[in-house]
Amino acid sequence: MSQTPFRYHRATSVADASSLLAASDARPLGGGTDLLVSLEEGLEHAGLLVDLRSIPEGDTITALPGGALRIGAATRIDTLANDARVNAHFPALAQACAAVGTPALRNMGTLGGNLCQRPRCWYLRRAVPCHKNGGDSCPARDGENQYLAILDGGPCFIVHPSDPAVALSALEAVIEVAGPAGSRRVHIADFYVLPSERLGRETVLADDEFIVAIELPAHSAGGRQLYRKLMQRDAWDFALVSIAAVRRTDGDVRLFMGGVAPRPYRVNSSVEEDIASGGLDEDSMSALAQRAMYDAEPLSKNSYKVALAESLLRDAMRELGA
């Protein structure tokens, strides 16, 4: 464990944060529940922490015309779990936020920090040389890989730990990003990257960019929505496997899974279409769940995740009224 001294600055505006984060040793700070531990573990390095919680209205939830919702990145996870508008119109997100860690973590953690939290692979967290920290192999591949990816892995097999990210993917959220070069909007489907595309980070954010807000589109409001999460213990735990399922008011179905891949994993769209068509009995639900996991390539100790994923898929189909 190493402890490096760092400076701390409370950003006064998005522009202030952008100019401070232009420094190569600066990192954005939310609730600090992951970043401060990551600094201690040597997973992150920073000479300057830029606190985004002090940006005026950075933690505001705003209803937009037409039924969309804009959530400031500094909004606490607990606020989202309990917000009346989120519960009424985007319950998959409220349920995913309620499933995060502990009350203390939900009260400290911000949505922006949650989406950008670093992976929990034991080897990475303990600075064992691996692909993500500059090494040339993956010790988990033939080691302790029970919590790692069964889909889309390689050369590194992390799973993204965020529950809200899975729900926001099913809700087709748009991420508002700012940085010294200006601002841009990134669809959440393009926000997370696979290790085969980028090893050092899990998102498309440049080192000097940060999330300002997350927008939930009106077309994802309402319908039937759910978030379900399977854990090793009943509380204070990351997902072994999770699912966000949305049947929109236009009838389209979106299914995303957590705990199975390095980023929220979208179930094959042909499976979504068959569920949207309806009229499924138990046998056809089982067949669809198996088809959804057809590409799974479990590692030596995590084939149990395939069975968990198929079970969650069947539950989701029943709850969506397939």
If binding is defined by CB under 6 A, does position 262 make contact with ligand FAD?
Answer: no
CA distance 65 to 211: 22
Q: Is 153 in the site for ligand FAD (CB under 6 A)?
A: no
Three-point CA angle 232, 316, 172, nearest 5°: 95
Shortest distance, position 165 Cβ to ligand FAD, whole Å = 7
**Binding residue for ligand FAD (CB under 6 A) from 14, 18, 26, 28?**
28
Size of the site for ligand FAD (CB under 6 A): 32
As a whole number of angstroms, the distance between CA 159 and CA 138 comes to 14
Q: Which is nearer to ligand FAD, 35 or 124 (CB)?
A: 35
Q: What residue spans of the chain are helical by DSSP H?
A: 14-21, 35-41, 77-82, 84-89, 91-98, 103-108, 111-115, 122-125, 163-170, 269-277, 282-292, 304-320
Residue 59 or 310 with smaller CB distance to ligand FAD: 59
Binding positions for ligand FAD, 39-58, rule CB under 6 A: 44, 52
Compare residues 84 and 235 and give the one whose CB is closer to ligand FAD: 235
Q: Which of 101, 153, 195, 298 binds ligand FAD (CB under 6 A)?
A: 101
Contact residue for ligand FAD among 14, 34, 39, 139 (CB under 6 A): 34
In the chain, helix, strand, coil percent, each to 5? Answer: 35, 20, 45
The contact mask relative to ligand FAD for 102-141 (x = CB under 6 A, - = no) is ---x--xxx-xxx-xxx-----------------------
- Residues paired with 254 in a beta bridge: 246
* 211 lies in the binding site for ligand FAD (CB under 6 A): yes
Residues 203-215: b if buried by 16+ CB within 10 A, e if exposed: bbbeebbbbbbbb
Question: Does 193 interact with ligand FAD (rule: CB under 6 A)?
Answer: no
Measured from the CB atom, is 103 or 321 closer to ligand FAD?
A: 103
Fill in the per-residue mask, 58 to 77: x = in contact with ligand FAD (CB under 6 A), - = not in contact.
---------------x---x
Residue closer to ligand FAD, measured from CB, 59 or 274:
59
Residue type, 296: A
Q: Is 210 in the site for ligand FAD (CB under 6 A)?
A: yes
Cα distance between the two ends of the chain = 51
How far apart (Å, rounded) are the C-alpha atoms in residues 183 and 178?
A: 4
The bridge status of strand 48-51 relative to strand 26-29 is: parallel
Which of residues 77 and 92 has its CB atom nearest to ligand FAD in the complex? 77
**CA angle 127-195-116, nearest 5°?**
70
Binding-site ranges for ligand FAD (CB under 6 A): 27-35, 44, 52, 73, 77, 100-101, 105, 108-110, 112-114, 116-118, 161-163, 210-211, 236, 238
